[in-house]
Amino acid sequence: MHTQLYINGEFKDSVLGETFPSINPANGEKICDVSAATKEDIDIAVAAAKDCLFSPQWGYASTGAQRAKILRDFAAILAARKEEVLLLECLDQGKPKREADADIGDVLTACEYFATLAEEQDSHQNTAVENGSEGEFASEICHEPIGIVAAITPWNYPLLMAVWKVIPALAAGCAIVLKPSELAPLSCLVMGEMFTQAGLPNGALNVVPGLGAIAGGALTAHMDVDKITFTGSGPTASRVMQNAAAKPTAVTTELGGKSPLIIFEDSDIASVVDWVITGFVWGSGQVCSATSRVLIHESIKDQFMTALVDKLKQIKICDSLSDDVKDFTGPQMGPVVSEGQYIKIWKYIDDAKAAGLNFFYGGDRAMVADINGGKGFFVPPLVIDEPPISAAVWREEIFGPVLCTRSFKTEEEAVFEANNSEFGLAGAVFSADLERCTRVARNMRVGVVWKNCCQPAFAQTPWGGVKRSGFGRDLGKWGLEEFTSVKCVHSAAVGHSWGLW
């Protein structure tokens, strides 16, 4: 287990010797102390990235084929060390094993996909562009790394969200300073080591855990950073953009949401229930695209709610590393990531209860009181039925396993309520009428729509939102373009002149 900063290919303590504790959310106990980056460390990391970017081994001098080989070699190392990384994700973030395993599978897929895109970039270099000059001038396009990337990533998918930014940036040839969340940094530190083992030049990837206001603030304000890519909260994004505006620096943000899910009367209830639970229980509800606002046609509401509760009762809330559940093969849900998150979620729940909202299922601390002797940060799934649209639980991103359900009569009413939010990351629609699904999907003001499914994301397709859910895209060829600068080169025959002077 590595606990130091990873800068220029080496693990080292922070310059000022600062540390912060990494806590196991399943029992509240300290795993280790981790070096905390300050401005001094950020300056060193950015300098290492800059040296690497302009070196003969990387950056502007590198080829797509070279970068592809490193991504594939990293994937092979990760696959060989999968159990080690899986354990870190479970310990540091609290994920059940099957969720951590799925994340690592997605990482491996992303490595291969972006390796292929990197190779294709070689064939796209110096591509001729018709300029309408009838042969007087020739124009061609080159693709170059955008430069030094500051990546700030969240704690809900510690390794996977880091990879969503690191892998495409490396595929483009950038040099990166990654600040993972201080709540779950351990797998990212191992990732840095594995990339060096894969042949990535020193300085191309630097991992600097630290507190957001200190390390993140210094990183986003650094004058040598060419691109900021951020996943997190809206208020933090505002501070990031203020720092970026002073230079200015290009910014991509993914800021979460309060995603709607619409269920029409001709839906298959059994399969829909499974998707709905995935949408607010996977990750203990700590998912930016969690479909926590569910709109159900009034004619099937009672049937759906009964089936939903029956399924929720089968979920085991637990520490997936505990001996008590080592032989349990059914669905599991782990703790939330920290005491702070635990307190925040329970405040939403307590306020909703005090307001007299209808707790259709869950919301009782007694349901989790005996797990690990009551030491962990466990929150049981909660279903609140028919809250007013003004209620905080309906409008605000809770980032916990809290689902709100409301009925509707018409398609127009459902779409209006789905769009009646300041967020616009994702949405889902369920119906046997595929034309209706397509129509509703087109009318949803979100960046990602699921038809008759919920929550799949793929390395090959774009991810990002609209409105207050951010701008720019991760993943797919669009994710690579976020880290690529397009250079246009015009040329004329030697001795040619317009003869204007």
Positions marked active-site: 254, 288
183-208 in b/e form (b: 16+ CB < 10 A) is bbbbbbbbbbbbbbebebbbbbbbbb
Between the alpha carbon of residue 462 and those of residues 25, 126, 172, 305, 494, the distances in Å are 31, 26, 16, 33, 44
The Cα–Cα gap between 365 and 370 comes to 10
Q: Which residues contact 480 (CB under 8 A, 6 or more apart)?
A: 114, 117, 121, 168, 171, 172
The Cα–Cα gap between 76 and 83 comes to 13
The Cα–Cα gap between 387 and 402 comes to 12
Sheet holding 127-129, edge to edge: 127-129, 138-145, 484-491
Distance of alpha carbon 450 from the chain centroid: 17
Among the listed residues 335, 377, 1, the one whose alpha carbon sits nearest the alpha carbon of residue 186: 1
366 token code pair:
């007694």
